[in-house]
Amino acid sequence: MNFSPLDFAIVFAYLAGVTALGAWFGKKQSSTTDYFLGGRDLPWLAICISVVATETSVLTFISIPGLAYLTNLNFLQIAAGYLLGRIVISFVLLPRYYRGEIQTAYHLLGNRFGSRMRSFSSIVFQLTRLLADGVRLFAASIPLHVITGWDYSTSIIVIAMVTIVYTFIGGIRAVVWLDVLQWTVYITGALLALAVILDKLPLGWQSVVAAAAPGNKFDIIELGFDRSLKEFFTINYTLVSGLLGGAFLSMASHGTDQLIVQRLLTCRNARASQKALIGSGFVVIIQFALFLVLGLALYAYYQGAAMRSDEVLPRFIVEGLPNGVSGIIIAGVFAAAMGNLSGSLNSLASSTMLDLYKPRWGKNKSPKQDLMTSRLFTVMWGVIFVFSALMFTDNKSPVVELGLAIASFTYGGLLGTFFLGITNARAREDEGLLAMWSAIFFMIWIIGQKGAGLWVPALLAIAAGGWLYLRLQSRSGRLFVVIWSLFMLLLIAFVGSPHIAWPWYVFIGCTVGYANGTLLSALRPE
């Protein structure tokens, strides 16, 4: 282990400085608009970088190089799809978010369908973020585990405690500006790591080519047309699944997920928000390319030695980098993780406060009381995050793929419901609720594993269906709940979950939800 006292000093000094900056940004906050939306006056370029840092951060830094280490550059096909999805969202959803005083993504759904839809979609978002960001917190603990030798549980608790303090004080303005700083640091760190690796290899870049080329690790495009139909839908990264799956995933994550939408709503107007979102798509492609190439360089450096993919880069940082440089890079990783998690905590607190608490119990509260309640929600979600992250400590899959798969449980249903509201004037709240619920239930079957990993979420989906049954106003809607529940239980019991590559998940969920909502609205009598 080559992590010196100087490196430790740099890490702790950087984290202390970031926390102090967060406190400084948060000192002028007096309302939930300041705490959650930064006064709606943040520059688009800062939001652009913040969006990139939020969606990739520590998962990108750790897992994407490991992905290239194990496979090749096919992941870039997903990145191209991300750009396409952003362009659609920029012109379809963003203008709608800037009409009126929209505060959350689910506020828009509530305006279109009703208060029950706003509450239901907000709860769906919170459960999704709880699991997906539990993975992110676990990912952030990996370098701390490698450096200190602490077990994953201890590392998770330490990072979470620091993050809760920083988020409690800072608010979204601190989150955005620190995202910019942190993104700069870890991109610089990646470039430094790549330069050191190339310097250590006997022939520099030629050593990378010699090691990676025989295994076709430079391949970017995988058409997959030479494979069977079954194989085509089970390969993670083909051109079709990359462009289509990446586009739908990006439309869902950047158009319906409060974590990203909240940042886009901090811009001064819709035009600035569009520039931030589309610009982030180009930045993401460049960033993915950098981290994938770093993974190939690591493959040459370690000569393809077998190791857990998510530990490849952290191990090189503490073993292969000069004193001081290791500390700078790890500081960037921790800071990026803190910034990302603080953003998640802030978005969860905003959704809980504005979508659930404020409309029911906080109507007559003062701005000062609302601000304190929002901060308490931040602490609550931070504690819950710890328990969520502890669930993934035994996971062996690349954390970036795990995080994206978890998000896909609900992303498709959310996106399909947004599209239903935009394109189908006949659809009412009942159809919107059933579209989202049926898609999520279907994805539980698609993604789920055998045993408790499938039946537990299925029973939760049935419980949600029961809640909907009692609140639906249409007889056809209540009948649909019964029929769809029986249909899904039969699939789970007798068919088993199909093996489908994760880039297809959001597309499938969106299609199922939109189709069910459209069918139910067409069958409903006037």
Tokens of 424: 């189908």
Question: How far apart, in whole angstroms, are the C-alpha atoms of residue 157 and residue 171?
Answer: 21
Range of the domain at 417: 393-526
In terms of domains, do 48 and 167 share one? yes
Residues 398 and 346 in one domain: no
What the block records as the tokens of 409 is: 């449980």
Is residue 66 domain-shared with residue 149, that is, in the same domain?
A: yes
Q: Do 254 and 341 belong to one domain? A: yes
Residue 346, both tokens: 């802030």
> Are residues 432 and 511 located together in one domain of the fold?
yes
Listed residues 392, 409, 442: the one ending a domain: 392
**In the chain, count of helices (H) and strands (E)?**
24, 0
For the beta carbon of residue 375, count every other beta carbon within 10 angstroms: 20
Q: Do 129 and 342 form a contact (C-beta atoms < 8 A)?
A: no
- At 394 the pLDDT is 60
**Are both 99 and 207 inside the same structural domain?**
yes
Residues 197 and 277 in one domain: yes
Point out the domain boundary residue: 343, 371, 392: 392
Helix (H) or strand (E) holding 384: helix 367-390
CATH number for position 277: 1.20.1730.10
Of 460, 466, 454, the C-alpha closest to 495 is: 454
Q: How far, in Å, CA of 68 to CA of 293, rounded?
A: 7
Tell me, yes or no, whether 378 and 477 share the same domain: no
- pTM, full prediction: 0.82
Q: Is 267 helix (H, G, I), strand (E, B) or coil?
A: strand
One domain, residues 27 and 171: yes
CB-side neighbour CA atoms (13 Å) of 502: 18
428 and 360, same domain (yes or no): no
Q: Report the chain (526 residues): mean pLDDT per 10 consecutive residues.
A: 72 76 68 69 91 76 83 88 95 87 81 88 81 73 71 80 74 80 82 90 90 86 78 82 90 88 88 95 93 92 80 79 75 69 81 82 76 84 81 57 64 92 92 94 80 70 89 89 94 82 89 95 81
Instruction: Let me know: does 140 contact 61? Beta carbons within 8 Å.
Output: no
Domain boundary among the residues 392, 425, 442 is at: 392
Cβ distance 292 to 65 under 8 Å? yes
Instruction: Name the residue among 357, 476, 422, 342 with its Cα closest to residue 118.
Output: 357
Q: For residues 423 and 442, give the distance between their C-alpha atoms in angstroms, rounded to a whole number.
A: 22
pLDDT of residue 517: 95
User: What per-residue confidence (pLDDT) applies to 451?
Assistant: 46
- What's residue 3's pLDDT? 64
- Cβ neighbourhood burial of 316 (10 Å; 0-12, 13-18, 19+): buried
Domains identified in the chain, total number: 2
For 294, the token pair is 């770093």
512 and 494 in one domain?
Answer: yes
pLDDT at 399: 52
Cβ atoms of 190 and 309 closer than 8 Å? no
Beta bridge pairs of residue 42 = 267
The DSSP output letter for 392 is T
Is the same domain home to 370 and 449?
no
Amino acid 81 reads G
DSSP structure class, residue 220? -
Residue 283 structure tokens? 């930045």
Determine how many CB atoms are found less than 10 A away from the CB of residue 483: 10
Report the alpha-carbon distance of residue 91 to residue 87 in Å, rounded: 7
Contact predicate 283/48, CB 8 Å: yes
pLDDT attached to residue 450:
47
Buried b (16+ CB within 10 A) or exposed e, 467-476: ebeeebebee
Instruction: Write the single-letter amino acid at 9.
Output: A
